[in-house]
């Protein structure tokens, strides 16, 4: 039997910043406070952006602020057989079709409909191509992605923080034009295979959750519980970014701020410590109450 796990899944495209650490800490507290395992998954499917030096650096930084995990970190790049199996399952349901559109063509499509959350959605340009047309274009060497034939399904989910949500599912990309498996397919397969029963992550990913729920349903796997948390914002109330100041552990260390002080800062933002209080991970676990977590973004002063 696969145990119940929580997880954190960073993408090694750069150094982690305070907002990443805050979300990771919440995920860790949610899992450990209920006696669940906690796994680390490296989302390294994007060969054009992944940098190996960031893999070890991210793990060291997470350990420095007190986050531990069970077993060795798992890398998505070593799990592609699982994604291929899931893709074949969807193909058997006639849910996969080739898409020859470039990002620019999709972006400029005046007819592109929008979902309930105002996301730009794929306009369906290649959805109606015949098998013969698609095969001819593939044989001619045209680059293509593989998309999910969602038929504009309306999917209901319930988020542990934001409650019921309903959205139209997009014909999302399953395999990119460069051959890499897309996030929305990989994350569903990984969470199911690794026994992740509750996904804790930033609320910037809430809009894509109905898409992932739909893939769960098509693959016949249980949906996890989703618990989306508010992001950390910069002083300008925009999403935190490294270009806006000292927000990585290395930057902060250069300013004389230790990892322990960062942990205190994160704990204070969650209502678990006073601004200057030294706290350990064990102390935070004793104080943690997920129902008392702040419901608004934390604005970095």
**Structure confidence at residue 1 (pLDDT):** 43
The yes-or-no verdict on residue 54 having pLDDT over 70 is yes
Q: Average of pLDDT values for 16-34?
A: 96
Q: Average of pLDDT values for 252-268?
A: 95
Please, which residues bridge with residue 6 across strands?
A: 38
pLDDT tens-digit map of 39-49 = 999 999 998 88
Name the pTM for this structure. 0.92
The yes-or-no verdict on residue 67 having pLDDT over 50 is yes
| Contact (Cβ atoms closer than 8 angstroms) between residue 245 and residue 255 | no
User: The tokens of 246 are what?
Assistant: 């000292």
| DSSP tag of 181 | B
Alpha-carbon distance of 17 to 240, in angstroms, equals 8
Tell me whether the CATH fold assigned to 5-78+230-299 matches the one assigned to 92-175.
no
Topology annotation, domain 92-175: 3.90.800
Alpha-carbon distance of 126 to 132, in angstroms, equals 13
User: The tokens of 152 are what?
Assistant: 């504009």
pLDDT tens-digit map of 79-99 = 999 999 999 999 999 999 999
**Structure confidence at residue 106 (pLDDT):** 81
**Structure confidence at residue 119 (pLDDT):** 67
* Across 64-78, 106-120, 209-223, 273-287, least confident range: 106-120
- At 286, the pLDDT band (50, 70, 90 cuts) reads very high
User: The tokens of 82 are what?
Assistant: 């699982």
63 C-beta neighbours (distance < 10 Å), count: 12
The strand pair at 145-148 and 5-8 is best described as unpaired
**Structure confidence at residue 246 (pLDDT):** 60
Which of 197, 153, 233, 250 lies closest to 39, judged by CA? 197
Average pLDDT, the chain: 92
Calculate the CA dihedral of residues 170, 10, 238, 167 and round it to 10 degrees: 20
Alpha-carbon distance of 185 to 175, in angstroms, equals 8
- At 281, the pLDDT band (50, 70, 90 cuts) reads very high
CATH 3.40.50.620 for the 5-78+230-299 domain, yes or no = yes
Q: Which helix (H) or strand (E) holds 34?
A: none
Q: Which residue has the higher pLDDT, 271 or 234?
A: 271
238-272: buried (b, 16+ CB within 10 Å) or exposed (e) per residue? Answer: eebeeeebebbbeebeeeeeebeebbbbbbbbbeb
**Structure confidence at residue 237 (pLDDT):** 79
| Contact (Cβ atoms closer than 8 angstroms) between residue 76 and residue 271 | no
Alpha-carbon distance of 97 to 147, in angstroms, equals 5
Burial class (CB in 10 A: 0-12, 13-18, 19+), 233: middle
- For the chain, what is the radius of gyration of the CA atoms? 21
SS3 content of the chain, % helix, strand, coil (to 5): 40, 20, 40
The yes-or-no verdict on residue 62 having pLDDT over 90 is yes
Spans of all domains in the chain:
5-78+230-299, 92-175
The yes-or-no verdict on residue 117 having pLDDT over 60 is no
- At 236, the pLDDT band (50, 70, 90 cuts) reads confident
- At 116, the pLDDT band (50, 70, 90 cuts) reads low
User: The tokens of 284 are what?
Assistant: 């935070």
pLDDT tens-digit map of 184-227 = 999 999 999 999 999 999 999 999 999 999 999 999 999 999 99
The yes-or-no verdict on residue 240 having pLDDT over 80 is no
Q: Give the residue carrying structure tokens 């020859």.
A: 100
The yes-or-no verdict on residue 245 having pLDDT over 70 is no
The yes-or-no verdict on residue 57 having pLDDT over 50 is yes
């Amino acid at each position: 039997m696969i145990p119940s796990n929580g997880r954190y899944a960073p993408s090694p495209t750069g150094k982690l910043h305070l907002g990443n650490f805050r979300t990771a800490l919440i995920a860790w507290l949610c899992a450990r406070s209920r006696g669940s395992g906690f796994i680390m998954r490296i989302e390294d499917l994007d060969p054009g952006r992944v940098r190996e030096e960031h893999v070890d650096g991210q793990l060291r930084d997470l350990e420095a602020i007190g986050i531990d995990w069970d077993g060795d970190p798992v890398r998505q790049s070593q799990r592609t057989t699982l994604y291929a199996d899931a893709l074949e399952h969807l193909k058997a349901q006639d849910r996969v079709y080739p898409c020859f559109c470039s990002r620019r063509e999709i972006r400029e499509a005046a007819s592109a409909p929008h979902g309930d959350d105002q996301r730009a959605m794929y306009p369906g340009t290649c959805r109606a191509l015949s098998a013969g047309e698609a095969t001819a274009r593939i044989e001619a060497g045209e680059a293509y992605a593989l998309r999910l034939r969602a038929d504009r399904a309306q999917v209901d989910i319930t988020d542990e923080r934001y409650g019921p949500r309903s959205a139209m599912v997009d014909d999302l990309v399953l395999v990119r034009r460069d051959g890499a498996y897309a996030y929305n397919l990989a994350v569903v397969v990984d969470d199911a295979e690794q026994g992740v029963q509750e996904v804790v992550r930033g609320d910037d990913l809430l809009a894509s959750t109905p898409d992932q729920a739909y893939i769960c349903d098509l693959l016949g796997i249980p949906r996890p519980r989703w618990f989306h948390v508010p992001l950390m914002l910069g002083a300008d109330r925009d999403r935190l970014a490294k270009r806006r100041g000292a927000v990585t552990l290395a930057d902060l260390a250069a300013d004389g701020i230790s990892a322990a002080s960062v942990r205190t800062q994160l704990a204070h933002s969650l209502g678990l410590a006073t601004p200057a209080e030294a706290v350990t991970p064990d102390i935070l676990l004793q104080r943690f109450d997920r129902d008392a977590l702040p419901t608004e973004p934390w604005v970095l002063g």
